[in-house]
Amino acid sequence: MQIENLSRKLIIERSLAKSIVVIAPDLKSCFDISNLYAPEHLMLQINASENYIEWVRNAGSVFWGAWTPGAVGDCASGTNHVLPTVCACVYSGMGVETFMKSITFQQLTLEGLFEIGSVVALHWKASLLISDR
**Enzyme catalytic residues:** 40-41
- Rounded Cα distance between 56 and 35, Å, is 7
Instruction: Provide the terminal-to-terminal Cα distance of the chain, rounded to the nearest Å.
Output: 73
**Half-sphere exposure in the Cβ direction for 70 (13 Å, CA):** 13
User: Rg (Cα) of the chain, in Å, rounded?
Assistant: 23
70 residue type, one letter: G
Contact between 85 and 39 under an 8 Å Cβ cutoff? The reply is yes
Q: CA angle, 29 as apex, 27 and 33 as ends, to 5°?
A: 120
